Copies of this chain bind each other. A is one copy, B any other.
């Protein structure tokens, strides 16, 4: 049997009220004597008391819990974000309920429903698709919501993301600068805002350079997609001189296909990718990439969320961070 506040009350001969107040640090406020406070705290320790959050939250409505919903944790990009956010929230005294949606909108929706049952005080989400109804509903309901990485254009839901357009633009520029004109872009989840922005950046950069051919193919932020699309590219008639992959996972699949087909980077084909990885420096051909400020994204997202939770007014809640291009050796100068 777990010991409750009542046991402490009985054991000390004090009332439940007083015990609750002492244990919640409201002793001063209610003028509980030091003696009583110590007495209560001691017997709480002695009885191994652990408060029941469910009971506390039921009454107070505060859960000290937030939800973090991500498309997929096995992608290092999201894993890092999860790691940071988790730690930051912990420092703010919050628990994090995490859900990996497996890029599945149904799981996301079910989770979104379920978390409401937990009286969460905030929601941090990188949406798996472009269905915003539920999220918007929660937001309108007054729940502090912050989108991470992926967001919804035109809505006033706070978000923090990198400037995907700029990142893709500069990656493409880099290719063009090195003389590439026949470039194909392997994209990810078409329903996600980062993907749309990146594709747009890619296309606009080409257009600016008067390159009319702008092939964009693929449909998932996955290694498999990268592999398949690369194979398709290699087996086609018009093989490009460069590939731009829109995520680290896609890049991995792409490299796998290239390796199998014995195509050398950058001699035979150039490659640049969105997302950075610690491994990129050590690859056979160090991979040029667009690095997102992971740590900053997490910090700002938490900052905004906490502000919302605490009712603080923020000047701006829709934040774009600048990605950085890291030039390594995977793009050949034609």
Contacts and interface: CB of A to CB of B under 8 A. Distances in A.
Interface of A: 50-58, 63, 72-74, 76, 79-80, 82-84, 86-87, 90, 95-100, 102, 107, 111, 113-114, 116-119, 223, 252, 255-256, 259, 277-279, 281-284
Given A96-B98, A255-B282, A283-B282, A117 B50 contact: yes
A129 B302 CA distance: 28
A303 to B, nearest CB: 19
B119 A100 contact: no
Stoichiometry, copies per complex:
2
15 contacts: A50-B113, A54-B54, A54-B57, A58-B58, A72-B83, A73-B79, A73-B82, A76-B76, A79-B79, A86-B99, A95-B118, A96-B99, A279-B279, A283-B283, A283-B284
| 9 cross-chain pairs, A with B, having the tightest CB-CB distances, nearest first | A79-B79, A73-B83, A53-B117, A279-B279, A98-B98, A86-B100, A74-B83, A50-B116, A54-B58
Contacts of A76: 74, 76, 79
A119 B86 CA distance: 20
Nearest to A113: B50
Contacts of A281: 256, 259
A96 B95 contact: no
Contact of A86 (B50, B51, B73, B256): B73
A211 B195 CA distance: 55
